[in-house]
A and B are shown apart, each in its own frame.
Chain A
């Protein structure tokens, strides 16, 4: 167990480097895009090399993650939570530990934590209890934090990591969502336990004063503890990204590390193969995947440098990362560790569930994002993980993006899956993006887009017309309401030109492009498409290109 605070209390005064700075600080990685971007390829460049260049060291990493529960209120009081509120405005008297106040547990926090536990394949403890963890500091008004130490909510789960590419082959970016089944390197990280606990207040030292903001005090957290099953910074990063996706899909957390809604402590040690684990150091409060990976890389180097330069034991320490240099520094050693005097909290009854509760929750579990990727790429030939990830990111909480795609596919041949995805992600999203708007499944209904895709891919409509329909729906407020494709084409004057007109247009095109016409006449059918292009131009995109080609060939070759 460890302290949950951001800033670290009394130990802050003792900040001092205990070791000489290892020579090579890890290089900065390029900033990552969204968390789904790259599962494992973008770790600091120094990280793997330090571990793998000397094959005789193995790294062991375990994570302790604090995820803020997305309930909108505090765990034991009815006070709302918000990031934007002025300091000390969101406080119930219980949050300030007024004498005589008692904790009243938010049941929604329990439901979300149970769902998260089930998604992490944990066993739910049939009877979990709350305990108090004691220490004196400004950020904890009661001088104890309510947590679950002796009987946590859930235990013994796992999360499967995305497959790691072997260094020699991979140029494509592996994704945290892509199928683990296809790769023998897919790895499970065991979850030791998941517990519910209170967050602390925020404290800040300004001049000689410690300023305290109780807005965060009493906010609900899930603490998720892994077994030491990760062996590189890349794996740790991939684990965190996958967990973020899981929390969002469950709706139990937003995984926002920037806001401190997801905070990570990493336990790191190195050892030689077939020897016991080395002494671990704990890096506290890592608030981005990049800092997590930087800190791990730095620690690996530091530990190896220590073992290779001296026979003295490595001190067990709690450390923090300097976000400017990427180096870590010691907060306190094991000898300075506090005795938290854990004690059962008699104000909170044990959590016991009615028969069927857990089964009902399990039945309601949404599909995890990486399972969606695996399933959809399996059904629709040519559909890539990247496509599905784009759909997932449209709405990570409700999965409306994926639902839209699946609704669209209900009226379509599965072979058109890739094309349909392109229409959705390139045309609809692209045009919305140009208009500076967020995705909304109502702008172009799934049914409408499905019909467009069907007609265009079946050659009944030109791509240009299809795009025009999409553009119209996006740019005309209310256009989507109640309209069907046929009426819309009429309204826009985009109905395919009648056959008579088409012949006229084809002849015009032949007259206009004499050189190409001559080539076709001589048997070069490829060039016919240039004439078709001209027909499309003349018809302002309304002509049916397939038919135009037929007519042109008929005129020129008499086929």
Chain B
């Protein structure tokens, strides 16, 4: 069924912009939208899901050889909510293996990397869609679905959204159930939403953001109510057409010299014209975010991925018998050696090292401490107290939102030889990782084009549970005409 569907859809879909290579390569298994079993607010809407979100009707292989052909016996809670509200799951999208990467290029050899469809026609050589939810971002950008689910651990929804010129929301940690989302780093993983405009993102968000007793870290009804009460108290009259009273902070540490991406001055004027005020603020520990993130995410990944390579989930490779004379341990070693790609192995090793008895205090615990410092930086800025920690001091003249470029640059070339410095892949997460570590809602909204004609995005970051503030301001950004 899938192979037929793939051929059909591949023939039917035209990329928005043709580059030197044929596209699209966003999909694992694009399916034709069939009739929905449910009526609902998403009735008939075509939604793609990232390949690490459990869906019984398709393989959920996380773009890894280790899970090729794995069919989950259950739907993720967020997928179930989409289905029950009438949405069509139109297929699954490619990703960096297990979410590890910023280019959607870390995949098994038989996968073609995802191409970014959003560049100027004149451009040469395919560019990356960003990662790790690059397949979802590209599928939205190329117009083959109405919205897509991604996952965001350190920027994996926002970075591709920025590179592909679409909207990408990473909600507060715990707003959308992770039940059924294959774990990369449990303390950071969030289900995110990609769409062409903020209204669509908002519609999907309100459908899949609800309590779930199958995920103990998912915000309870009580917690959501206290966040809603704070929202109503602090923003009684906020709407996309009036940002009167909204205090927007511009972190000086995110203001990087050219050729890094800058906030467009006309966007700032637009926000001022709607009644918002702008304030220079400081996140003094921002530079600690990236090293802390890579230690913590790798450590958690080394734990979460330890289950693969045994005999448990029924992928094609796992079904093979042990080879003659091979012990259980040797078989496991072979499965892991062959099943994981280079980037995944690199992070598993780094994470294992960080958790080893000799390193734990000096590496893992230090990273946890840095994370704490960064959270403190954020909590000192916001006017609204943290709903999960309402007794901490919140400055009355604090800010409501942070605004900064989502990425330091536009989409990089897919071909590494044309890119040069390999290190920069990690640095691409520089501006997205802080909100992940602090568990805050962050949304990348398109904000025009860079000098090379490729999209840039700006990020709005709010207090935990203040998605509506982020969405309202995002809608205002949506209505800004960047060509003016």
Contact = CB atoms under 8 A, between A and B. Distances in A.
A10 B216 contact: no
B364 interface: yes
A100 B360 CA distance: 26
Nearest to A98: B313
A13 to B, nearest CB: 9
Contacts of A93: 73-74
Of the candidates A98, A141, A341, the one having the most CB atoms from chain B within 10 angstroms of its own CB is A341
A103 B216 contact: yes
B219 to A, nearest CB: 11
Interface in A91-137: 93, 96-105, 132, 134, 136
B299 A348 contact: no
Contacts of A210: 328
Given A99-B60, A136-B306, A339-B357, A141 B312 contact: yes
Nearest to B98: A99
Contacts of A341: 302-303, 352, 355-357, 360
A403 to B, nearest CB: 38
Interface in A180-221: 210
Contacts of A10: 329
A346 B217 contact: yes
B407 to A, nearest CB: 26
Interface in B362-391: 364
A134 B303 contact: yes
A103 B216 CA distance: 8
Contact of A343 (B74, B313, B364): B364
A134 to B, nearest CB: 6
Nearest to A96: B312
A144 B72 contact: no
A491 interface: no
B303 A100 contact: no
Contacts of A142: 306-307
Interface residues of A, number: 30
B183 A343 contact: no
A347 interface: yes
B210 to A, nearest CB: 16
Query: Interface residues of B toward A: which range?
Result: 35 or more
A95 to B, nearest CB: 11
Interface in B153-198: 178-183, 185-187
Of the candidates B53, B215, B312, B355, the one having the most CB atoms from chain A within 10 angstroms of its own CB is B312
A348 B70 contact: no
A129 to B, nearest CB: 12
B76 interface: yes
B310 interface: yes
A132 B187 CA distance: 13
A399 to B, nearest CB: 35
A343 B178 contact: no
A102 B306 contact: no
B214 A104 contact: yes
A210 B182 CA distance: 28
B103 interface: no
Contact of B180 (A100, A105, A134): A100
Contacts of B310: 136, 138, 141, 143
A423 B187 CA distance: 64
Contacts of A343: 299-300, 303, 355, 364
A349 interface: yes
B216 A349 contact: yes
B118 interface: no
Interface in A315-357: 339, 341-343, 345-349
B216 A105 contact: yes
B306 A348 contact: no
B332 interface: yes
Nearest to A143: B306
Nearest to A10: B329
B426 to A, nearest CB: 22
A83 B178 CA distance: 33
A99 B216 contact: no
Given A144-B303, A347-B186, A102 B356 contact: no
B372 to A, nearest CB: 13
A429 to B, nearest CB: 47
Contact of A99 (B183, B355, B357): B183
B328 A138 contact: yes
A339 B300 CA distance: 16
B136 interface: no
A366 to B, nearest CB: 30
Contact of B178 (A98, A102, A136, A143): A102
B214 A100 contact: no
Contacts of A132: 303
A341 B359 CA distance: 10
B216 A104 contact: yes
A97 B303 CA distance: 12
Interface in B64-87: 67, 70, 72-74, 76
A93 B72 CA distance: 10
Interface of A: 10, 93, 96-105, 132, 134, 136, 138, 141-144, 210, 339, 341-343, 345-349
Given A343-B303, A345-B186, 18 more contacts: A97-B312, A99-B54, A99-B60, A99-B70, A99-B307, A100-B178, A100-B181, A102-B178, A104-B216, A105-B216, A141-B312, A142-B306, A143-B310, A144-B303, A144-B306, A339-B356, A341-B302, A347-B215
17 contacts: A10-B329, A97-B312, A98-B73, A100-B180, A101-B180, A102-B179, A102-B217, A103-B216, A104-B214, A104-B216, A105-B216, A132-B303, A138-B311, A341-B355, A343-B299, A346-B300, A347-B217
9 smallest beta-carbon distances between A and B, as pairs = A143-B306, A346-B187, A341-B355, A346-B186, A99-B182, A100-B180, A100-B54, A97-B307, A339-B357
